[in-house]
Amino acid sequence: MRIFRMTRTLQRLDEMLTKAINGTFTEESYDETELSRLESKWKQYFTMSSMSMERTKAERENIQSMISDISHQMKTPLANIMLYSELLQEQTEGEQEKYLAEQIETYAKKLEFLTMALVKMSRLESDVFKICPSVQRVGSLLRQATEEILPRARQKEIQIEICGDIEGKANFDQKWTQEALYNILDNAVKYSPKGSRIEVEGISYEMYFCIAVKDQGIGIREEERAQIFSRFYRSDLVQQEEGIGIGLYLAREIVQREGGYIKVESKEGNGSIFKIFLQKE
């Protein structure tokens, strides 16, 4: 009899867990006092969990609305500031006045970049943006990200070469992975000397497709390698360069949400190799 009751209790517990997983759990009446008490506690737990999920969803929707409002409200003032700064540059004749007008435009562009970067980061963290990976060829990703960074590379006379396997396939979201790769390329251009070379290599492995970005830049100190993917982290070696320290953070977040990861190999003064590993399936 005891074995029968234990078997029945275990079966009921199994049913309760199965229904909880499926979201169909409801409290029922049973004669077994301990089981009924456990069932009641389960009901309380799932009710509280459901309320917590609803609050989280409401907060996420509020964040989404707030971010959209901030983004919308910032666009018009920034656009007007840049327009007026361009008009000032055209209408002023003195060197000092032109310089000041150029500074206004420069800082307005920095503010626009900062605003857009923070909006992207907030939307990504609050799951407002959905990353939808699919199996596709990597070649298009490499070419488009490289073409996007070329204007900045040409300003520093930096050559960018695509090599290796560019016909391979991986599971990724084209738009967001291009954003991740661009951020890594942007860092490579930013911290590489004039006239240097950047190599973007495709490497196919059994389970992953690797995109390796090799530069001849300033490199990364060993003690900083674990920090470079943190939000707003900037080395004291690059404080004079433009940037706010979220490019690599965004790149890692995007790739991780696709089931991949990023590794870095570097020595101070000897360049860096950033490797993006994308799942093949």
Q: What's the pLDDT score for residue 42?
A: 64
Q: What's the pLDDT score for residue 31?
A: 47
Contact 178, 148 (CB under 8 A): yes
Provide the total of helices (H) and of strands (E) in the chain, helices listed first: 6, 7
**How many CB atoms are located within 10 Å of the residue 83 CB?**
12
pTM: 0.65
Q: What's the pLDDT score for residue 6?
A: 64
Q: What's the pLDDT score for residue 217?
A: 87
- Give the closest residue to 128 by CA, choosing from 54, 181, 59: 59
Q: What's the pLDDT score for residue 27?
A: 55
Q: Give yes or no on whether 1-129 and 134-279 have one common fold.
A: no
Contact 60, 126 (CB under 8 A): yes
- Pairing relation of β-strands 159-164 and 134-137? unpaired
What fold characterizes domain 134-279?
Heat Shock Protein 90 (3.30.565)
Q: Where are the domains of the chain?
A: 1-129, 134-279
Backbone dihedral region for residue 127 (phi beyond 0: left; psi -120 to 50: alpha; all else: beta): left
Give the mean pLDDT per block of 10 residues along the chain (281 residues): 64 68 57 60 67 68 66 74 80 80 79 73 67 91 94 93 92 92 92 92 94 91 80 64 74 91 87 94 78
In CATH, the number for domain 1-129 is 1.10.287
Q: What is the DSSP string of 226-275?
A: TTTTSTT---TTSTTSS--S-HHHHHHHHHHHTT-EEEEEE-TTS-EEEE
